[in-house]
Structure 1
Amino acid sequence: MSDGLNPLREARVAELLLDFRTLQFLIAAAPTSPGNPDDYYTEGWAALRQCALDGQHILDCAADISIPCASGPGPDEQAKAQLKQILLDAYARRHEAQKIYLRQAAAQRWVGWRDSVLNEGGTGGSMEGLDGQLRVELANITDEAVYAELKANDINMGRWTAEDPSLRDVQRWIRSRRRC
């Protein structure tokens, strides 16, 4: 017996994939190399390059195409099982892309701050302070914070979130994709 929620599941997957696509465009558009070659190995530019690599990796990871077992008989129950699997994949990809995007934004702020300090004749101490600030910002971009932010945004947008995966499921999906 079908629960009648497959259209909601389909719409949710579409929303998540659209969000993921938008984040991928933003990640791909960010710079990865400084105008000054001497800045190449600085913390912010290294972070920007890592974000570009991480963004490409999340795109390159194949989706889980195994066919899940339905909990009941019939094509609607099979579709439900498949949609739940696809929902986890799309949700976790969006989560990881958001985390990359936030790290990238922090690194881009660092680049702006660094340029300002250099233009004002800043010292090595000023640069170390900026590097420390970047490390703090990057450390604050946790799975828990990203998950809570995305969930709050989805709820504020009136999206159907009743079957969204847990943070633990998302983290398990991410760990499984690090090997691909």
Structure 2
Amino acid sequence: MSKKSAFDVGPSPEEVRRVAQEARDLPREQLERGVLGCLGLVVAVWAVTVAVVATKLPERVPTHWSGETPDGWSSRTGAIALFVLTPIAISALLVLVSGLVMRWPQSINAPQKEEWLRTPQRLRTLERLMREDMVLLSALIFALFALITATTGWAAHQPGGAMPGWLIGGVLLLFVVGMLTFLVTRMLGSRYTPTDTVD
């Protein structure tokens, strides 16, 4: 990659539109091995968890807690809809984000974005990287909702729907650790550094 002037702010809007058009004509790059397998495994665990919990939920389900005491309740149908529809909706939005790379690349916030926008092949590679990361983020969301479903189902059978603070904190901690792991392993380092091999 050649060095750029300090005054080089990246390709012009016209150049970006041309690059995006040419990138859409290139073949879609395959995801790295294991990404879809990871999502499939987590979705399977989530689906089994929802199916098992759904058969045991009472008609009135706690869905929000203030400390250990529930301060929000839902019907059995409403709770199941929450467990099912929320992760699916979030994952659908993540898929749309990766699709924006090809349709509206200026809207994407990625490390060294201007360099990725310089050639069609780079943009196509960026789309694959973003797609992989959105798939893994979706897996993390489904994992979170598997935990939420399991812990809510357990609390629904406790006196007054109480849930220990350590359990709520544990679920949040696991999710935060998962997000930090994702950010460190996927977003930092050289993964989003374009090289001459993708030109």
TM-score computed with the length of structure 1 as normaliser: 0.52
Give 1:148's match in structure 2, choosing from 138, 163, 177.
177
Quote the residue 2:129 is aligned against. Answer: 84
Asked if the contact 2:43–2:142 (Cα under 8 Å) also holds between the matched residues in 1, the reply is: no
Change in 2 beyond 3 A, CA 1:105/1:141: same
Change in 2 beyond 3 A, CA 1:132/1:31: closer
Give 2:96's match in structure 1, choosing from 42, 63, 66.
63
Deviation at 1:20, TM superposition (A): 4.3
User: Higher helix fraction: Structure 1 or Structure 2?
Assistant: 1
Deviation at 1:24, TM superposition (A): 4.4
Asked if the contact 1:91–1:165 (Cα under 8 Å) also holds between the matched residues in 2, the reply is: no
Of 97-106 and 10-19, the range deviating more from structure 2: 10-19
Aligned residues: 134
Deviation at 1:80, TM superposition (A): 2.0
Deviation at 1:103, TM superposition (A): 1.0
C-alpha separation in 1, matches of 2:131 and 2:152: 32
C-alpha separation in 2, matches of 1:20 and 1:141: 16
C-alpha separation in 1, matches of 2:175 and 2:44: 16
C-alpha separation in 1, matches of 2:139 and 2:44: 10
What amino acid is the match of 1:73?
T
Quote the residue 1:14 is aligned against. Answer: 36
User: Higher strand fraction: Structure 1 or Structure 2?
Assistant: 2
TM-score computed with the length of structure 2 as normaliser: 0.49
Deviation at 1:72, TM superposition (A): 4.9
Asked if the contact 2:49–2:149 (Cα under 8 Å) also holds between the matched residues in 1, the reply is: yes
Asked if the contact 1:55–1:100 (Cα under 8 Å) also holds between the matched residues in 2, the reply is: yes
Query: Does 2:130 correspond to 1:99?
Result: no
Change in 2 beyond 3 A, CA 1:19/1:136: same
What amino acid is the match of 1:54?
T
Query: Does 2:73 correspond to 1:40?
Result: no
Structure 2 gap ranges (5+): 2-28, 64-72, 106-112, 189-199
Asked if the contact 1:17–1:94 (Cα under 8 Å) also holds between the matched residues in 2, the reply is: yes
Return the structure number with greater relative CO, CA threshold 8 A, min gap 6: 2
What amino acid is the match of 2:61?
T
C-alpha separation in 1, matches of 2:59 and 2:167: 20
Asked if the contact 1:34–1:40 (Cα under 8 Å) also holds between the matched residues in 2, the reply is: no
Change in 2 beyond 3 A, CA 1:57/1:86: same
Asked if the contact 1:58–1:97 (Cα under 8 Å) also holds between the matched residues in 2, the reply is: no
Change in 2 beyond 3 A, CA 1:165/1:29: farther
Asked if the contact 2:35–2:135 (Cα under 8 Å) also holds between the matched residues in 1, the reply is: yes
C-alpha separation in 1, matches of 2:145 and 2:54: 14
